[in-house]
Chain A
Amino acid sequence: MALDDRKTDFTFVGTRPNRPDGLDKVTGRAKFGADMSAPGMLHGAILRSPHAHARIVKIDTSKAEALKDVKAVVTRADFADVPFKPGLAGEFWNVLENVMAGEKALYDGHAVAAVAATSALAARDALKLIEVEYEVLPHVTDVDKAMAPDAPVIREGAADYSVPEGMHPNVVRYHESGHGDVDAGFAEADLVLEDSFVTEATHQGYIEPHACLGLLGNDGKGELWCTTQGHWIAQKTCAALLGIETSQLRVTASEIGGGFGGKTTVFIEPVALALSRKANRPVKLVMTRSEVFRATGPTASASMDIKIGMKKDGTITAARGEFRLQGGAFPGAPGDMTAMCAFAAYNLTNVKQIGYDVMANRPKQAAYRAPGAPMGAFAVESVIDEMCNKLGLDPIEVRLKNAAHEGTKASYGPRYERIGLVETLEAAKAHPHYSAPLKPGQGRGVSCGFWFNHGGETSVTLALSEDGSAQLMVGTPDIGGSRASMALMAAEVLGIPYENIRVTVADTATLGYNDVSHGSRVTYASGLATIKAARHAVEKLCERAAAKWDIPVEAVKWENGCAVPSGPNAGDFDPMPLADITAKMGRTGGPISGHFEATPEGAGVSFGTHIVDAEVDPETGKTTITRYTVIQDAGKAIHPTYVEGQFQGGAAQGIGWALNEEYIYGEDGRLQNSIFLDYRIPVASDLPMIDTVIVEVPNPGHPFGVRGVGETGIVPPLAAIANAVSNAAGVRMKQLPMSPPRILAALKDNG
């Protein structure tokens, strides 16, 4: 969707006002998922499987139900046998199965029953009285082992048509793409390097646990308040899982304490509603941190083989990758995404990528910023770095030599429109960081990263008030300062101050459908919709002015917040400010609003380049990140501070993923580190100041040139840090996280 009315000079866009939700958040006035209460409210708690894989022989809830404080107990029998609704099909069943186990518990932490009681403590105590008889089954948690012939089968018949014959039933989807002839390409190369890499699953690590308040009557009408990245998907899914009509469930998104992709589906929401329906009272459910780790989120874990051929001058002649991703006991690991993104930064004549989606006895993987892409980038960019070292070439020069640009046939198929990869590489090369001297024991790493970005279904409404202020209703929960960006874009179109616009994340009863806040889509799609809704309102404002002046509407234009005659021939009238028009709107035709609903298709792919310095203690294997610079194409930064925040957040989370974060399973298949003490996300003092450079190569698909920035920032860090650490340690690190014991062992192996 190319637009010919793209704007390039701005009044409000590009400034850095405070976010409208900032004061509420720093003063504690903001209401998060657990902050809502209702009269007569009960507290829910969920019983979870202690086994990685077990048949549920029997559940006896009678003792719990007999307690006076207990008002409802639910198991799988209390959920609708889902009649496949259009558009939801198989994944729908998966969500139900994940929300409440059916015949089998599929992972440690899988929900098997839930209670609602008059206090949180009573609910927790009641869980202990539920007797579950399990028949423990063999389990598998490792991706390569889950594909091996002797692996226990998690679910027969889960594979789709794409899987080649002869593969283990745990392989449920297969992806293959590319172009050219890789074998011929390898034959042309001066150096061919082949290597294998593994990454562990990590959790999104949002600070706010999942929490909700649900109310559902026997008349099939309900209300749900929850922390989510998308309340329409919560509405649609909950309604289907409970067998009620979608429109009868009204869902309100609370403020959200982080999501990063992990809050794009439901976990406890249908359970709270099922308990409420049974007890006929509102039910609140709040997960503990341990439940968050055991039963929500994590990413896939990955095992990958890469082969790249290169000429002495750094030209890549061929590239091939195999990516095996384990996404828990359900289909959905993004093996296809990993494969498609892995080589997307390069202009390759010969490329082939294969991705596998593999099931194992772990929680259902959820999106985590650019799902699948960071792992592939880690493997591919590590091999490129090693080849640069072997051929004595500069890593940025080699990337520039092979960089994708406008017109390049992407490794995953289409031809790129205008993209900004080369600009990020040039900015990296010119940045003082890249030429700064390194101290002994330090190493430097660079990496590029790619993400698709997404449009998605979007509805926005803008209503003007009599006093000339505006209320904007968007349907995408604000996970990164988006209300500020929306207000800036509306201000730009309307020509009224940023402060005069209140942006509300509307509930599902107030607006049409909105896709989740994911795919880096909010500033792009809700932004585009905001601009169009504001322009719609401006058309009406111009009509009112035209009527007043008694001239054709074509003879009126909108400038700096006022209707003005479009030229000398239109007539001689004083500019008519927005507030003058709205003050009289009730008498001149009624309320003035603007609307926009669509599925914008021009999201515009995004690239970034990161530079990292790391220092490794050779005696303990401990890594310190000493300097970090993020350079990324934002298309147009609407609110530069929040763009920088996204860049820095990607780097911070990448540092955690690269160095210490990992899911650790015991021999028994149980998660061993389900608290923040042992699941080691970086603390503030682990991080250097993360420097940022915003590159702006406008996206032709957005009126102001926006490209989403939320996800690309987590694609390069794993590789850039691995390259820095490998260069500092003098040994190639091929397994994440690069925890001190792994680095020390690698140093010893290296002599």
Chain B
Amino acid sequence: MDYHSPASFAEASALAANATGVTRFLAGGTDVLVQLRSELVTPDTLIDIKKIDGVSDITRNADGSWTLGVAATGAEMSEHAELSRDWPGVVEAMDLIGSTQVQGRATLTGNLCNGSPAADSVPAMVAAGVTVSVTGPDGTREVAVEDIPTGPGKTSLSKGEVISAVNIPARGNNAGDAYLRFIPRTEMDIAVVGVGVSLRLDGDTVTEARVSLGAVAPTVLLVEDCAKAIIGSTLDDAALDALAAAASAACNPIDDKRGTIEFRTEVAGVLAKRAAKIAYARAKGEKA
């Protein structure tokens, strides 16, 4: 196994482009090292991106948008008061990952690129409209989070491409987001269903919404019908029922050791309602 710790993303990209066999980037390593030790994936090339300047920075840009380095950890995000105020849903989704120890290592980018349909931060990022900067042999492009995963364990990144930053839009006024997941226990478990909701209000009326579902299809879903169900409403019971119905209709889950098709489909609707209510309350400036 070859281990590299490049000083720039261009260098990381070149190393990956020229590597043969199985290549992995090493962010927090909470997926990579676990898979290595359990012999699921034994990389031939390991490219540690944590030595690149600025990878742990969390920056609020002049326009209110955020740029997160790809090695910024869950713990660093939760401890960032301003980020937590702007995007509580994204932060709480990341904070659900693993234990205190895992929080000290795990990253948004690792969670996204590991490609699990059940990844907790991904529906929250999709709902929030997050994009990532992708650096490759031909330069850097910006890609919406929902366009990265292509199936369990698979991403749209091509050989030699590495994510170099996470871009979260400006929150703006009268807006809120939330993420909820279902697990049979209270922590240290993997989402059976995950729902991210982000919305904006004009008075009591929802004017913008993005709803994303996790663990109910081969990739995290951005569900337009869910957004339509609540846009223009005051999140009244009828709108919530329509939201739940749209969420359940969008599900294309599997039966597995973690949950049945019927269960996931039903609970996606339940959680969509609950997450929407929280996002709505947050948009109104209420504590939720």
Contacts and interface: CB of A to CB of B under 8 A. Distances in A.
Interface stretch (A463-471, A629-637, A736-744): A736-744
B2 interface: no
A177 interface: no
Nearest to B258: A678
A536 interface: no
A290 interface: yes
B190 A677 contact: yes
A660 B39 CA distance: 27
B185 A741 contact: no
Contacts of A678: 190, 257-258
B48 to A, nearest CB: 21
A221 interface: no
B101 interface: no
A680 interface: yes
B188 A683 contact: yes
Interface string A685-715: 1100000000000000000000000000000
B240 interface: no
A677 B263 contact: no
Contact of B184 (A290, A675, A740): A740
B270 A619 contact: yes
A619 B266 CA distance: 8
A683 B187 contact: yes
Nearest to B190: A677
B158 interface: no
Contacts of A683: 185-188
Given A622-B182, A673-B257, A680 B266 contact: no
Contact of A680 (B182, B185, B256): B185
B262 interface: yes
A598 interface: no
Interface string A603-630: 0000000000000000111100000000
B259 interface: yes
Nearest to B182: A620
Size range of the chain A interface in the assembly: 20 to 34
A301 to B, nearest CB: 16
B38 A290 contact: yes
A659 B186 contact: no
Nearest to B99: A683
**Residue of B190, B192, B256, B257 most packed against chain A (CB within 10 A):** B257
A672 interface: yes
Interface in B158-216: 182, 184-190, 192
Nearest to B39: A124
A741 B187 CA distance: 18
A683 B185 CA distance: 7
A65 B111 CA distance: 41
A660 B184 contact: yes
A497 B266 CA distance: 63
Contacts of B184: 622, 659-660, 680, 739-740
B61 interface: no
A682 interface: yes
A744 B189 contact: no
A664 interface: yes
A741 B190 contact: no
B102 to A, nearest CB: 12
A745 interface: yes
B187 A744 contact: no
A745 B262 contact: yes
Given A290-B38, A672-B257, A673-B257, A744 B266 contact: yes
B230 to A, nearest CB: 18
Contacts of A682: 185
A288 B39 CA distance: 12
B135 to A, nearest CB: 32
Contacts of B262: 741, 744-745
B267 interface: yes
B185 to A, nearest CB: 5
Interface in B232-282: 256-260, 262-263, 266-267, 270
B190 A745 contact: no
Size range of the chain B interface in the assembly: 20 to 34
A685 B182 contact: no
B257 A744 contact: no
Contacts of B188: 677, 683
A699 to B, nearest CB: 38
B182 to A, nearest CB: 6
Interface in A655-679: 659-660, 664, 672-673, 675, 677-678
B4 to A, nearest CB: 21
A738 to B, nearest CB: 10
B11 to A, nearest CB: 30
A745 B182 contact: no
Nearest to B192: A740
B270 A620 contact: yes
A167 B186 CA distance: 45
A203 to B, nearest CB: 15
Contacts of B190: 677-678
A621 B271 CA distance: 13
A739 B189 CA distance: 14
B275 to A, nearest CB: 13
Contacts of A686: 185-186
**Residue of A124, A619, A675, A741 most packed against chain B (CB within 10 A):** A741
Contacts of B263: 621, 740-741, 744-745
B260 A664 contact: no
B101 to A, nearest CB: 14
A465 to B, nearest CB: 45
Contacts of A745: 260, 262-263
A685 B186 contact: yes
Contacts of B258: 678
Given A677-B190, A680-B189, A741 B259 contact: yes
Contacts of B186: 683, 685-686
B257 A620 contact: no
A677 B38 CA distance: 13
Nearest to B271: A620
Contacts of A288: 38
Given A619-B270, A620-B267, A660 B260 contact: no
Contacts of A672: 256-257
Nearest to B264: A741
A677 B189 contact: yes
A526 B262 CA distance: 53
A288 B184 CA distance: 25
A490 B187 CA distance: 44
A664 B257 CA distance: 7
Contacts of B260: 741, 745
Shortest 10 CB-CB distances between A and B: which pairs?
A: A741-B263, A685-B186, A619-B270, A664-B257, A741-B260, A672-B257, A660-B184, A686-B186, A673-B257, A683-B188
Given A680-B184, A682-B185, A683-B186, 15 more contacts: A619-B267, A619-B270, A622-B184, A660-B184, A660-B185, A675-B38, A680-B189, A685-B187, A686-B185, A739-B184, A740-B259, A741-B260, A744-B263, A744-B266, A745-B263
10 contacts: A124-B39, A290-B38, A620-B267, A659-B184, A678-B190, A678-B257, A682-B185, A685-B187, A741-B260, A744-B263
Interface of A: 124, 288, 290, 619-622, 659-660, 664, 672-673, 675, 677-678, 680, 682-683, 685-686, 739-741, 744-745
Interface of B: 38-39, 182, 184-190, 192, 256-260, 262-263, 266-267, 270
